[in-house]
Amino acid sequence: MPQLFLFGLVGAAAYYGFNRLKGEAVRLADRNRRSEQELRTGAQGTLVRGEDGVYRLKRD
Which helix (DSSP H) or strand (DSSP E) does residue 54 occupy? none
Other CB atoms within a 10 A radius of the CB of residue 45 amount to 11
Query: What's the confidence (pLDDT) of residue 18?
Result: 98
Provide the pLDDT for residue 15: 98
Give dist(CA 5, CA 54) in Å, integer: 52
* Phi, psi for residue 36 in degrees, rounded to 5: -65, -40
| CA nearest neighbour of 33 among 6, 41, 48, 11 | 41
Chain segment 3-53, per-residue pLDDT in tens: 999 999 999 999 999 999 999 999 999 999 999 998 998 888 888 999 999
Q: What confidence score (pLDDT) does residue 2 get? A: 85
Distance between CA atoms of 23 and 59, rounded to whole angstroms? 17
Q: What is the pLDDT of residue 44?
A: 85
